[in-house]
Amino acid sequence: MRLQMDNQRMIAAGLANQNTVGFKRDYGSVFSAYFDQEGGADRVFPSRGPAVVDQESGKIVATDNPLDASIDGEGYFVGTSPSGQTVITRRGDFRVGADRVLRNGENITMDGDSGPIQIPAAETIEITKDGSVAIRPPGAETNAEPTVIGRLRLIKATPDNIVRGDEGLMRLRDNSVPQPDATVALNTKGLESSNINAIDAMVEMLNASRTFEIHVKLLATAKELDDSTAKLMRSDR
């Protein structure tokens, strides 16, 4: 029953984030664990495998904002959370703060190949398909080529090496240092929606609720049988 409640919480978290940019749903498996000890072979316990982040991509929504970007296919942005930890994200709604540091909508400081990306004063800023951050300095001619000031750190990771923390941010399970992957490409001027399908999630929630209710009824039936057995034993005396 506890594991079924965990399932419901996981599904509810996905539904709550169905409109969050770049959100990936979690899923996990429940299986039977047998008590491997002499005299206990008939004892079975429910157990859960590690939670996995669904790698399915969300839909790309065009925004026409030069600071918006989404990853084309596999890959993740790398950044630093407000608590100072290295995290990965699919969220590409970038903005430049008062300190001229590039962050996304989760307030994650975006990492480049040589540390956090600092944006100098510029007339225009844009993200290119290879993850480069280019600006047009103040006073530059309109037809002048943009100046590349850095490149977003883009990586690939296997699903079983990705874990979501309690604060909702993703990171690598083995705590390895993410190395840039030049094959990761971006879609510019667009954002990736979450990969939550509201209808599917509601069906999963209903199934999880019904399964929980069945377990409650089984417990009630077991209690009734136990009470009946106790009455029979008292009546025999």
Residues 83, 112, single domain; the answer is: yes
pLDDT in the model for residue 29 = 66
Residue 146, domain member (yes or no): yes
pLDDT in the model for residue 68 = 95
Residue 134 backbone zone (phi > 0: left; psi -120 to 50: alpha; other: beta): beta
Residue 72, domain member (yes or no): yes
With a pLDDT cut of 90, the percent of the chain lying above it is 45
Average pLDDT over the chain, rounded to whole? Answer: 87
In this prediction, residue 177 has a pLDDT band, given cuts at 50, 70 and 90, of confident
Question: Helix or strand or coil: residue 209?
Answer: helix
Residues 43, 83, single domain; the answer is: no
Question: Hey, which residues does 68 pair with through a beta bridge?
Answer: 93
In this prediction, residue 102 has a pLDDT band, given cuts at 50, 70 and 90, of very high
Residues 118, 74, single domain; the answer is: yes
Question: Hey, which residues does 151 pair with through a beta bridge?
Answer: 132
Nearest Cα residue to 24 out of 4, 8, 10: 10
The pTM is what? 0.78
Residues 88, 169, single domain; the answer is: yes
Residue 237, domain member (yes or no): no
Residue 83 vs residue 42, higher pLDDT: 83
Residues 155, 205, single domain; the answer is: no
How many domains does the chain divide into?
Answer: 2
Residues 79, 166, single domain; the answer is: yes
What is the average per-residue pLDDT within 106-116?
92
Range of the domain at 90: 60-192
pLDDT in the model for residue 117 = 94
Instruction: Identify the sign of the CA torsion 105, 107, 113, 117.
Output: positive
Residue 4 vs residue 106, higher pLDDT: 106
pLDDT in the model for residue 43 = 73
Please tell me the distance from the alpha carbon of residue 209 to that of residue 203, in angstroms, as a whole number: 10
